[in-house]
A and B are shown apart, each in its own frame.
Chain A
Amino acid sequence: MIMIVLKLTKIITITKEIKIERRGHMKLELGKFNVKDVLFGEKTFFKDGVLTINKDEAISFIKEDEHITDVDIVIAKPGENTRIVPVKEAVEPRIRPDGRAVFPGVTGELAMAGEGRVHALKGCSVLGVGMHWGSFGDGLIDMGGEGAKYTLYSQLINICIVADTDEEKERHEQQKKNTAIRMASHKFAEYLGETVKELEPEEIDIYELDPVTKRDEKVDKLPSVVLVMQPQSQMEELGYNDLVYGWDMNKYVPSFMNPNEVLDGALISGSFMPSSSKWSTYDFQNFPTIRELYKEHGKSLNFLGVIMSNLNVSLEQKIRSSIFVAQMAKSLGADGAIVTEEGYGNPDADYILCLAALEDVGVKTVGISNECTGRDGASQPLVTLDVKANALVSTGNVSEIIKLPPADKVIGELESLARDGLSGGWPFDEFLGSSVKEDGSIIMENNGMFCGDMIAGWSTKTMKEF
């Protein structure tokens, strides 16, 4: 009897959900479970704020991908004197109670993201860490001490997948796809999310925007704003770039997306961008600038949505993307736009081009990015400039030199910072020596701090004239 009742309830719930879908109303319910501690134990489950993981089962799960040849799972907590390097990816553990993939097109089948219920384990992150080998886009995290302030991840409990792979071809390449370790991170994040699939969330955040043309008069009257996001897509060979619904963003032209899709797993991070400028998958899932626009929606602005662009390499491709961006903004009737780029250097050209193109069609812009102002702080901060870009937020300088003492514990391999071509490290320099000293202390550029410039909008760090 009970079984039948439960089955009926399920059918009714599913019907309700389909009905909602048909109305075309993008409402995302993010159910939050606050993780206060993560431990290893007999079973993998979540209770009273504690996530317990059966390490052997977890390792078996990760090893289902044959490309992973050796793996360990290590937990790093805030305040510990622990250094983690090379970090390739960060993912917030989540699950969809209705069985859809957390990362459609990546961890499972394609389905529209951005509406319905998703559950998230807050306060923690899965990290994909190389057991030995690093690459250009990998970064470093210090969980405690002076180095902690340079990344967000020192504030989270990090469940580190420390792995070695059979990816021989790129073993000694500076640019690596890091496919196995990155994919392991997404899958494992979903695996851990299973622990809260059937549970009731402590809190539910609602992200809801009415269709653009069907908004309240009151909201319509407010200045309308789009967020233009430029995820990195510079590599022409597939496998390195950010993905949207599993599609490589190098082979992509800008489109209009609902911000919920970004918050809900439609995009995953890639493996190319110098680390401090990177948007990890965790960044996409929690994008502070999107959440801030949501906060102001209906109060001081009308948040229309996201124009998702990209960052391709040739001038022609950059111009083409800026045309799409400007046209969409114009046709949507946006009064203003925030443009934000996942990168520095070459991508600055796309950033400035979009800002100027938008201003040219009458859309007032603000940009959010970091800078590459040189170790002396005196170089031109962006590679191209335009006086039309008169409203910019700067979240840091990739070139600043950071010196840190040795850490008690290293997760991964410290030498990778100096040896493997990470953007913020080097093997030899006449004045500074190697990035990794014999005693374990390090000297590096901010460039190598994992998602350190928090371009997604997390931090109070900015740039000032000295």
Chain B
Amino acid sequence: MKKAIHYINQFFAGIGGEEKADHKPEIREGLVGPAMALNEVLDAQVTHTVICGDNFMGSNTDEAVEMILGFLEDKEFDIFIAGPAFQAGRYGIACGTIAKAVKEKFGVPVLTSMHIENPGVEMFKKDMPIFKGGKSAAKLKDDVKAMADYANKILNGEKTLPAAEEGFYDRGIRAQVWLESGKTGAQRGVEMLIKKLAGEEFISELPIPEKDLVAIAPPIKDLSKSKIALITTGGIVPVANPDRIQSASATRWGRYDISKMDRLKAGEYKTIHAGFDPAAADADPNVVMPVDAMKEYLKEGKIGALHDYFYSTVGTGTTQAEAARMGKEIVVKLKEDNVDAVIMTST
């Protein structure tokens, strides 16, 4: 029989309301509050209930998470379920926080449920399935059942349906599906246009996601005292491609020593990036990775130093997740080598 652990707040544990929101995290063997309802519909035994006051989690998040992860260390469990949190903002955020931490530490599937207006939805929908929950505890049974139905599929290794059909918020994971309706791409396209022209409602199959901006890093005050590094996603590598960087969907990057040269030489460096005509880059790699221009600026004293290495990978088809990981790894190296700023060329 598989095992589950349920997380609830002080109110649902029957400890108290607002006045008990500072309740320290605890773990109890057996079922408390909604865990009983969950246990009835889940294909797993809910062995423990974790309880924490919403304020305690909100004001001492790190401590609360550490404590709870500590409680779970010696426990066996196959799935971790939090809430449902309905519209309670602090509770929703608490559910998302702890579920994410549990997923990251123990690698078990996690899920929760909350109403669409709960701020926890936007914050955590990318990290776990968050089921579309009701406004108030009146919906407890329904919300618990929705979570359990999906959890059971996961526990039994069954295929799951698209988010909209299962009942949780889009989490930004898309996958191919063959429509049962049998409507072809051509039919769907023409139908969608006819509806749009008639002013009727239609659903786009590719919703445009929101832009994700990053805070602008503080500008360099004095270039002549700064160390600049070069990076490219144009796949410029030594001709033997020693790091075996892929021509598309790259998961690897490399760094190559340019400290003893004035420019990249054709025949020593080339591009391995698929998806564009490589002729120009192979004939003169400096058109993609402008080592020669940087060396000139170094000589002139416009920049204080040029980093000994340039970093390279391939941009086409590479997932954001892989690009972010590679970016993080490269950042570590840049910081180790005291690089002040970067110029990146893309193709």
Contacts and interface: CB of A to CB of B under 8 A. Distances in A.
A–B contact with Cβ pairs below 8 Å: the answer is yes
A393 B170 contact: no
B204 A373 contact: no
A397 interface: yes
Contacts of A372: 317
A174 interface: yes
A451 interface: no
B189 A379 contact: no
Q: Is the interface of B mostly helix, strand, loop or mixed?
A: loop
A382 B174 CA distance: 13
B186 A289 contact: yes
B274 A378 contact: no
B330 interface: no
A374 interface: yes
Interface residues of A, number: 83
A381 interface: yes
B173 A368 contact: no
B274 A423 contact: yes
A292 B186 CA distance: 6
Interface in A331-379: 335-338, 340, 345-346, 364-369, 371-379
A457 B197 contact: no
Contact of A379 (B197, B277, B320): B320
Interface string A416-451: 000001010010111000000000000001110000
A393 to B, nearest CB: 5
Nearest to A446: B176
B204 A458 contact: no
A396 B174 CA distance: 10
B342 interface: no
A155 interface: no
B226 to A, nearest CB: 30
Nearest to B183: A460
Contacts of A385: 208-209, 211
B279 interface: yes
B194 A301 contact: yes
Given A368-B185, A368-B189, A389 B174 contact: no
Given A392-B204, A463-B176, A457 B274 contact: no
Q: Tell me what chain A mostly uses at the interface: helix, strand, loop, or mixed.
A: loop
A337 B196 CA distance: 11
Contacts of A248: none
A368 B182 CA distance: 17
B193 A364 contact: yes
Contacts of B211: 385
A12 to B, nearest CB: 39
Given A236-B277, A398-B317, A464 B206 contact: no
A394 B194 CA distance: 17
Nearest to B190: A292
A414 B14 CA distance: 65
A463 B177 contact: yes
Contact of A390 (B163, B204, B246, B320): B204
Contacts of A338: 189-190, 193
B251 A429 contact: yes
A463 B246 CA distance: 26
Interface string B184-209: 11111110111011100010111011
A175 B58 CA distance: 56
Nearest to A463: B174
B156 interface: no
Contacts of A429: 246, 251
B171 interface: yes
A374 B184 contact: no
Interface string A262-295: 0000000000001000000000000011011101
A393 B171 CA distance: 20
A71 interface: no
B182 A460 contact: yes
B279 A237 contact: yes
Interface string B141-175: 00000000000000000001011100000111111
Interface of B: 126, 160, 162-164, 170-179, 181-190, 192-194, 196-198, 202, 204-206, 208-209, 211, 244, 246-249, 251, 274-279, 316-317, 319-322
Given A379-B319, A460-B181, 9 more contacts: A174-B278, A234-B276, A371-B174, A385-B211, A398-B317, A428-B244, A429-B251, A457-B187, A460-B185
